[in-house]
Each structure stands twice: as C-alpha cells, then as structure tokens.
Amino acid sequence: MTLIELMIAVVVVAILAAVAYPSYENQLRKGRRASAQTFIVDLASREQQYLLDARSYATGATALAQLGFADEAAIPSDVSKFYTITIAPGATTTPPTFTITATPKAGTSQVSDGALTLDSTGAKTRNGATGW
C-alpha cells in the first residue's frame, strides 16, 4: 500500500467514527432513561404497597429508605450515576398523593432529557411534556 492509500483508509475510518459515535451516545442515553423509568415504576409499585401497610405514602428525605433503598448502593448503578431520585408528597388530600422525580445529574449526557416524573395517578412526564 502506498502512503496515499493508507491516508484515504484513515480518512474513511475517521468519517465512519464521526457518524457512528453520536448515534452510540444517543443509544446509551436512551438506555439509561429506560432504566430510570423502570426504577420509577418499581418505586410507584412499592409506594402502593406502603400505602396499604402504613395508610400513607413514603415521601421526603427518608422515602427511599422506607421503600427498601436504605443507601444509594441499593439503587441500580445506571440510575444512581445519572439521576437524583426524589419522592415528594402531593397536595394534602384524601387519599394522599405523591410524585416521584428523576432529575438528571449536572454534567451528564442525561441533562438533555430533562426530569422524569410519575405521580400517584400514573401521569408520566418528561421534561415537562406529557408521556415518556
């Protein structure tokens, strides 16, 4: 092979990598979002069980511990590295309500997705828009 042929091959590989890498990053972001959504749905299910046992939802700073996630190590790593999970009480109504929010951590690729929420009625939002 001549030097020119080698340079052409390097340029072709560089172009292919430049096209493929953003798609790869996008697929990773979508996979992490799906993991967060699955975890949020699991938390909502645990909230319903907690309501049956305690007659109220677990909310606030201790909510994750009350639902069986005593420390961050219990949360799946692909969720805990990229999202901060909070469970806030809804309005003071009967029956009680809650809202689970997964907020992307600053500096991660998930920031462009915006916050994911799920409330006690099953309403899901992503970055303020209805649905995931």
Q: What is the pLDDT of residue 128?
A: 84
The helix (H) or strand (E) run that includes residue 4 is helix 3-54
Going from the C-alpha of 92 to that of each of 24, 45, 52, 55, 131, the distances in angstroms are: 44, 21, 18, 14, 25
CA proximity to 39, closest of 92, 7, 81, 78 = 78
Tokens 């096209």 correspond to 19
Domain borders along the chain are 3-130
8 A C-beta contact, residue 85 and residue 96 = no
Q: What is the pLDDT of residue 35?
A: 95
CA distance 86 to 39: 12
Q: What is the pLDDT of residues 90-122, one digit of tens each?
A: 777 677 889 999 999 999 989 988 999 999 889
**pLDDT class of 70 with cuts at 50, 70, 90:** confident
Q: What is the pLDDT of residue 61?
A: 85
CATH number of 3-130: 3.30.540
Q: What is the pLDDT of residue 106?
A: 94
Q: What is the pLDDT of residues 1-56, one digit of tens each?
A: 799 999 999 999 999 999 999 999 999 999 999 999 999 999 999 999 998 888 88
Average pLDDT over residues 61-78: 86
pTM of the model: 0.82
